[in-house]
Amino acid sequence: MKSMKKIIFTLSLFVGSIFVTAQTNNLLSLQEFENQVTTIGKAISENLDSKNYDALEKLLNEVITLCSRLSDEDKESVKALQADIYYSLACVYSMQNRKEEAINAFATCVNDWGYINYSLAKTDSDLDNIRNEKRFIELMESIREHGDYIYILQQAGKYEKADTAVLPHFKYENASIQLLKEVKNLFNLDSIAGQGDEISKIINLMTWLHNTVRHDGSNYALCEFDVIDFYNYHKATGRGINCRGLAIALNECYLAMGFKSRYITCMPKNEKDTDCHVINSVYSETLQKWIWMDPTFNAYVKDENGNLLSIAEVRERLISGKPTVLNEDANWNNEKPQTKEEYLDIYMTKNLYWLECMQVSKFNPESRYRNTDNTRIALLPLGYERSDIINNNKIVIVHDPEYFWQQP
């Protein structure tokens, strides 16, 4: 029933995530929609363990009915939710061996609501009863080019060596800068990092931020983009900040402690996909390499022998099929544990097609109110062009990973 548990989590993330910009003059107000969806999500959870399919079917159809009472504009804003609801309905029918109804529900989630999560549908045992049906196979093939993220990553162009002499030099603000000294002292980062080795300090700093400032992917915090303002904003409002804000905050903590660090925007291939993820890459002098740190999910990645991996190494291992291991305590807001399958094989595989970072890693690198004049460096596979960045004179496009991941 893992797909149904995914729906409960989807509902919990969805509530409150779109209502900032949506209108309320509909047949059903969005506030009322939020309230009812919250109640239904709890009821779905209560009926999961007992496998009460009749109740689950009724509850899922209630959400569909609620969606139908929204305006056309607001229906579009809940498109992803409707796709997931029809997917779950397909699972409920499939587990009862109601094959035709299951395939029809799956077709609706694909054709009408744009469902493309190929990896989940491919491995979800809830759909086993329809897996060999001709229509289901055809529907799966129709979404592979858009939703089989391992396949998409494997089809990406290669990289090539570049003349780095003409490219900008990466720079890292020194811990002696006054603002970074204030960060270190304000949060008592020495105490947070602890007295252990370099790696334990790096992990401790990430875990502290993860536990201190809540993540809210929908919230573009109204404050300056630095760890002090993010922290004060969260404490004053109770609202979380998005993954970019968390990564910027952690980056400044690392710089304040003397670690060379960047925050990396991890991007999907599909230009229409507005979802991306921002994580940290911090340089370990002990290991003489960059290592993956993600404050949103308190996550880092190792190989089968327990060696910490970089973003580049994780990407290559996902392409080649080599093992990747997620730390056991990876989680979202200390509420939902993360699995390797969800986090790496699906979510991050989608978002590792191309990468971007700032040339200068520093305090308040993307000021909301001031011109920081900071060049971006984008690492793209050969043959892949982005219409939204190709003519941006503040973005340098490269295809050379050795340049992008050069030692600081």
pLDDT of residue 354: 97
Phi, psi torsion values for 87, nearest 5 degrees: -60, -45
Q: Are 339 and 297 in contact (CB under 8 A)?
A: no
Q: State which residues form the domain around 101.
A: 2-147
Length of the chain: 408
Average of per-residue pLDDT across 219-234: 93
User: pLDDT digits over 261-318, tens only?
Assistant: 999 999 999 888 888 999 999 999 999 999 999 999 999 999 999 999 999 999 999 9
Domain shared by 228 and 182, yes or no: yes
pLDDT of residue 6: 54
Domain shared by 251 and 328, yes or no: yes
Q: Which two tokens stand for residue 34?
A: 């939020």
pLDDT of residue 33: 81
Q: Are 308 and 199 in contact (CB under 8 A)?
A: yes
Phi, psi torsion values for 108, nearest 5 degrees: -65, -45
311, 329, 349, 378: which is closest to 210 by C-alpha? 329
Domain shared by 380 and 260, yes or no: yes
pLDDT of residue 271: 85
Phi, psi torsion values for 44, nearest 5 degrees: -60, -45
User: pLDDT digits over 316-361, tens only?
Assistant: 999 999 999 999 999 999 999 999 998 999 899 999 999 999 999 9
Domain shared by 104 and 198, yes or no: no
Phi, psi torsion values for 91, nearest 5 degrees: -65, -45
Domain shared by 139 and 277, yes or no: no
Domain shared by 131 and 54, yes or no: yes
The one-letter amino acid at 223: C
- Of 88, 116, 147, the residue at which a domain comes to its end is 147
pTM greater than the 0.85 cutoff: no
User: pLDDT digits over 7-36, tens only?
Assistant: 554 554 444 444 433 444 447 777 788 788
Average of per-residue pLDDT across 388-400: 83
**CA 179 to CA 362: how far, in whole Å?**
10
Average of per-residue pLDDT across 195-222: 95
pLDDT of residue 23: 42
Cα–Cα distances in angstroms (integers) from residue 179 to residues 92, 160, 175, in the given order: 55, 38, 9
pLDDT of residue 17: 44
346, 378, 371, 375: which is closest to 361 by C-alpha? 375
117, 118, 32: which is closest to 69 by C-alpha? 32
Rounded (10°) CA dihedral 377, 382, 383, 384: -40
pLDDT of residue 19: 42
Total domains present in the chain: 2
Domain shared by 159 and 39, yes or no: no
- Of 147, 166, 196, the residue at which a domain comes to its end is 147
Provide the mean pLDDT of the chain: 90
- pLDDT higher than threshold 90 for residue 80: no
User: pLDDT digits over 123-166, tens only?
Assistant: 899 999 999 999 999 999 999 988 899 999 999 999 999 888 88
Domain shared by 138 and 77, yes or no: yes
Domain shared by 57 and 15, yes or no: yes
Rounded (10°) CA dihedral 15, 20, 22, 27: 60
Domain shared by 344 and 220, yes or no: yes
Domain shared by 127 and 182, yes or no: no
Domain shared by 276 and 351, yes or no: yes
Residues of the chain above pLDDT 70, percent:
93
- Of 147, 166, 188, the residue at which a domain comes to its end is 147
